[in-house]
Amino acid sequence: MKRYENERFGQERALYMTRSALIRNCRFEGEEDGESALKESKYLTVEYCFFDLRYPFWHVEGLHLRDSEMTPNCRAALWYDRDITIERCNLHGIKAVRECKNVSLRDCDIDSPEFGWHSKNVHLSGGKMTSEYAFLGSDGVQLDGVDFRGKYSFQYAKGVRLKNCVLNTKDAFWHTKGARAEDCIINGEYLGWYSEGLTLVRCHIKGTQPLCYCKDLTLIDCTMEGCDLAFEYSDVHATVKSTIDSVKNPRSGRIEAQGFGEVIEGNSVYPVRCKLVTKQ
């Protein structure tokens, strides 16, 4: 195995097409302003490194990256990669992950708009994440114990799985298919519009006009706070362990709650056949 330790790399494609290497305590920076330092590389272990240049890991296969930092200058860091593990890293450049497959991130600090687009099997556990338009069009995204902030998350994604997360977001889960969240706190308006097969289990939901225009929507033992004008034109089966501020023209199904502050009916485009049940 090749070893690179305590070196600085600033030139274009500095370690292009590297195979089976350990890269430790190196800095990718400098006036040369070179891009794509490790493009087309395979089977890398990278640890305690600093990245301040663009596009370091493109078309990389078999990367274990840990205890490293990517600055805001490290734009579009990981694109078209597969079989990637990232642990205890700071990823602070825009568009950090795109069109990747089989990516695992553990206890990372992510501040990256447009993170995780069009990727498959991206798993995050622990850590915190700030991103607008995160995971657009991705498939098989899993988050466990992640503190997430950012608007327009998970749009057009498939097979999303969330557990024990805190989401401070807006317009989340729009047009998703088969998404499921368990034991999460979801703060944000306009949740889940136009989704198909969205399931929320023991979640606390907060924000105006949630869950409208949904197909095959399921809520199991959730609570809702500040949720007015909920479920408009949705096909829904819900058990809610709180009062719902207001419900407007749910299209079909059954909603069971501890109470309904207001039920808004009439002036509907579709026939409204949803059953509302009050149960303490």
pLDDT tens-place string over residues 189-240: 999 999 999 999 999 999 999 999 999 999 999 999 999 999 999 999 999 9
Q: Which two tokens stand for residue 40?
A: 């087309």
Q: What is the pTM of this model?
A: 0.95
232-239: list long-range contacts, CB under 8 Å, 24+ apart. 233/268, 233/269, 233/270, 236/211, 236/274
Torsion, Cα 56 38 49 71, to 10 degrees, reads -10
pLDDT tens-place string over residues 170-187: 999 999 999 999 999 999
Q: Map out the domains of the chain as residue ranges.
A: 1-130, 132-280
Residues 6+ apart with CB under 8 A from 117: 95, 97, 98, 99, 133, 135, 136, 137, 138
Beta-bridged to residue 186, according to DSSP, are 167, 205
